[in-house]
Every structure is written in structure tokens, then in C-alpha cells.
Amino acid sequence: MLFCKKIRFFIIAQAFLESMCGQKKIPDLEYKIIADEFGLILELCSKKEENIEKFIFSLPEELMFFHSSSIDLSVSDMAAEALKRSGAKLAVVESCTGGLISKIVTDKPGSSDYFWGGFITYDNKAKETIDVPAFIIEKYGSVSKETAISMAEKGLEKSGADICASVSGIAGPGGGTVDKPVGTVWIAVKRDIVKTFLFLFSGTRKEIRDKTAQAALLIVYKELLYCKALDSIVFEHYI
């Protein structure tokens, strides 16, 4: 008898996943990676079910992976599920994504039940309209942990929603520096406390924006259902 299990991965490079699988020296375990419109699916097969579970247990905790029940769901599907199950309303404050997160969420019918709306604060002056202090932007820059935190805090305060996600990054192709290259993205989520995440994405402008929107909704999903969104993690392999 052959046991098989599929795991869904988002915003992760196929080369990184292949490397990670190759490093796991588990006997009698075969794997296949399938790419689709949502990301990657890892199919694991073995004659011993415990070999599959051993592999899954060994995965880094910060990897945002989902087991077989979720492989056919998009990020917006999962975020919607988490928001509806928790009875929470989401607000967003978007800079580099320019409204893309709001678009993805509201593509789903019935999203008004769990989505308050958002603020598009693309320019620094736009950030100040929701009371992000100018001195924070001047001191740390618009793409920084401190600015992302303030965006999430002010977004939650002004919307009255239950959870707020903010994003600020450099989508390119220009605008990058040695310290903050193109693909640098800060995401903050404010519920009871603020949690922050630094991503180092690569790809085209569209790819970086798409990955940023997916990452923000994945963090909301994990925060609401599992409270497992990790604070101040640098996701260097989420490329």
C-alpha cells in the first residue's frame, strides 16, 4: 500500500522547496512538486505513513504551508474562511500594493461581511492623512518596520475593524538601495498587539506586488485561526 499526501505552499521559490526536500534524508519517501496558479503543491508518497508525517514535522515553523484540506483554496479563500469563522472584520493600509489586497478580497462575493475596507497610502503625504507621524517616515523611511507598525495601528484605530494589515515595500524596478533592495517589503498586522514581518522578494514588479498581497492575507489567516504568525521574521527564502 502506498500512502500519499499533498501540501500547499505559497510565495516560496520552487528551487528552495526542491533544495529543502533534497536535504531531508528520509528513506522510502518520494516527492513531486507541482506548480499551479496559486503556488506550489508538494506531493509526498511512501509505503510508510510515518515517513510522511516525519517529513511534515521537520518543516520549519515559519513556512506558511497548508495540508491537504487547503490545497485547492486561494489565499483570499483562506483569509475569508478565517475572518468568517472568527467573526472579525479586516481593514488594510496599502502602500506598494496600491489597492491590490482590497481587490483580491473583494473579488469574492459576500466580502462585505468580513471586509471593512482600506486606505491606499501610496505617497508619504497620504500616510500622514491617516496620522502616521511625519517624523517616523523621515527618521526610518516609508519602507520600514516603524512605518508599517504605525500604518497598521492608525488603520485599526480609524476603521474600527477587528484586525488591520499594512504593507509598505519597494516593488521596483527602481527605487532600491543597498540597505533596502527592490523586493524589500514590511508587513504589519495589528489585532491585540502589532506583529511585523520583513520579506525579501524577487521578480518583476507585478510578481513582488502579488507576493506581498498573498503574504499579507496569509498572515491574517494564520493570526486569526492559529495565532501562529511569527513576530519580526525575515523570510529570505520567500523569493
Span 124-131, mean pLDDT? 98
Q: What are phi and psi of 128, to 5 degrees?
A: -70, -25
What length does the chain have?
A: 239
Q: What is the pTM of this model?
A: 0.87
All three cell numbers of 168, joined, read 509598505
Q: What is the pairing mode between strands 65-66 and 3-9?
A: antiparallel
Span 108-133, mean pLDDT? 98
**Sign of the alpha-carbon dihedral angle for 229, 161, 142, 133:** negative
Distance CA 70, CA 74 (A): 8
Residue 12: pLDDT band (50, 70, 90) is confident
Question: Is the pLDDT reported for residue 57 higher than 60?
Answer: yes
Give strand ranges (E) for 178-220: 184-190, 194-200
Distance CA 140, CA 127 (A): 14
Question: Is the pLDDT reported for residue 229 higher than 70?
Answer: no
Q: Answer whether 202's CB lies under 8 Å from 239's CB.
A: yes
Span 192-206, mean pLDDT? 90
Which amino acid would we find at residue 202?
A: S
How much of the chain, in percent, has pLDDT values that exceed 70?
91
Residue 25: pLDDT band (50, 70, 90) is confident
